[in-house]
Structure 1
Amino acid sequence: MKSLAIAATGMNAQQTNVEVIANNIANINTTSFKRARAEFTDLFYQMDRMQGVPNTAGSSPIPEGANMGLGVRSAAVRKLHIQGALSQTGNTYDMAINGRGWFQILGPNNDVLYTRAGSFNTNANGQLVTLDGYQIDPSITVPQGTVEVTVNKTGQVFAKLDTEVNPRQIGQLNLANFVNEAGLEPLGGNLYKETTASGTPVVGLPGDAGYGKINQHYLEASNVDPVKEITELISAQRAYEMNAKVITASDEMASTVSKGLR
């Protein structure tokens, strides 16, 4: 019976759905985490009767055919790059992007990666780095003797030294935009990688048209809504149970037929 295989595809789909929801909930407090959504498509159809052809010679074409669906499959797990809430931390090197854009980071092999998690710090050389020690691109170095670091909305970084009256500019933060942010490849550690699907990055300055502004002393929170995730988890659970009941019903019907033939 085809219903057994069809219901099995439904159970597999809902299992994937639950796994995506579980990952969203697990990262509910991860800085700048973007929730994901499982996308599904129906499987190809088995045609028992074609629409639009005459039923018998000389008759009019039939308006509807008979196409039997064969289930569902996972098509994609889409990252939803929606702005998360800004949370004030008071930390000098915490920076949040309010609007579009990505910080550029030099990865392990000096390849450029992208993140919205602006929880930065300085290393032993005074260079601005991520929590994993990766440098910001372009590099920004805080000089020794700095008593205060200020970052304005347009990404200009100023340092006030204990030997100087006026702060000096020590760097400029850039932001990268992508035509298709959903096409970025998540690498873990709040880092993303450019792909063919995302398109090439377009680099600009914070505050320019199409680019967000920098908020110092803030971090972007996860955009996971716990109420929505729990609601979708219950829905996925019920859908899984219904598919399981279809398998049970189909098995009982097949058992009835086999007993009747004995």
Structure 2
Amino acid sequence: MVRSLWSAATGMNAQQTNVDTIANNLANVNTTGFKAQQAEFKSLLYQDLNSVTTTANGDPKPTTSQVGLGVRTAALTQLFSQGSLLDNPSTSAFAISGNGFFSYHDADGNPVYTRNGDFIWAIGNEEGTELVLTTSDGNPILSTEGEEIRLEGGYISNRISVGSDGTIYYPDEDGVPQEVGFTIGLWQFQNPGGLERVGSTTWKVTAASGPAMNEAETDGIEKSIIRQGYLEGSNVNVATEMVNLIVAQRAYEMNSTAITTTDQMMQTANQLKR
């Protein structure tokens, strides 16, 4: 009976993690570039109550009897399915169609990756003659060469256009778009599920994810497409998450009921001698 208490307790802890994960998904349903997570579980070791043996006469006994010792959270799987492309009036709004990631350097100078293309053209010098493509937090976005995208020469931000491959254009005197020498960088990973999440829409490279592969320099991978004037919405499906939440709540209640039942059985056993 004590074993049943511990098994039910592990189930309650696991379902609490499940509910927390679902709640985080629902809280970020409107977060640009957010990718949902899913809790995965695994059984703890099983205990043998009776092993396969034979009687004194050599007759086989019943098969092995085992009882589970509960469950634990094995992983929080990241789901990198494509989110919906949402129209946005900003000329510095970009959505990725495909498996690519934008990149910028964090405060420590290490590259991080994101699907959130809600960028701005920030003023890069005191004279106001330089534009820098940055995140909404002011982190400069990297080009295919791994450099910050800085446009000098008095460019007007709302006249800048970006091609589907990330090439940046600016119209000449005749209004014909001309390349300015920068292309927005995109990177892919062999196993994006192995990336380390460091923010709601930001990830770092790990040994599990493999190194970042520059789409402009890597052959044999499907290139992503950049859509100017769009943002990628969250890939959270509210209906699915609500169903998962109900299932998790019921599983939590069942484990709680198992603890209550075990307590009642122990109470009955203690009262037998009366």
- TM-score w.r.t. structure 2 length? 0.89
With over 3 angstroms needed to count, the CA separation of the structure-2 counterparts of 1:152 and 1:256, relative to structure 1, is: same
| Match of residue 176 from structure 1 | 187
| Match of residue 127 from structure 2 | none
Instruction: Report matched runs for 1:82-121 at 5 Å.
Output: 82-121=81-120
| Match of residue 215 from structure 2 | 204
1:149 aligns with 2:149: no
CA contact (8 A) 2:34 2:200 kept: no
Instruction: Identify unmatched segments of 5+ residues in structure 1.
Output: none
| Match of residue 43 from structure 1 | 44
1:136 to 125, 138, 141: 141
- Note the aligned Cα RMSD (angstroms): 1.8
SS of equivalent residue, structure 2 residue 141: coil
For residue 204 of structure 1, report the CA deviation from its aligned partner: 1.1
1:21 aligns with 2:26: no
Q: Distance in 1 between matches of 2:98 and 2:62?
A: 51
For residue 48 of structure 1, report the CA deviation from its aligned partner: 1.6
CA contact (8 A) 2:32 2:231 kept: yes
Q: Distance in 2 between matches of 1:172 and 1:68?
A: 59
- TM-score w.r.t. structure 1 length? 0.93
CA contact (8 A) 2:30 2:234 kept: yes
With over 3 angstroms needed to count, the CA separation of the structure-2 counterparts of 1:57 and 1:201, relative to structure 1, is: farther
Counting matched residue pairs gives 258
Q: Distance in 2 between matches of 1:16 and 1:73?
A: 10
Q: Distance in 2 between matches of 1:69 and 1:107?
A: 45
Q: Distance in 1 between matches of 2:210 and 2:60?
A: 47
For residue 211 of structure 1, report the CA deviation from its aligned partner: 2.4
For residue 50 of structure 1, report the CA deviation from its aligned partner: 2.4
Instruction: Identify unmatched segments of 5+ residues in structure 2.
Output: 125-130
CA contact (8 A) 1:86 1:220 kept: yes
CA contact (8 A) 2:78 2:193 kept: yes
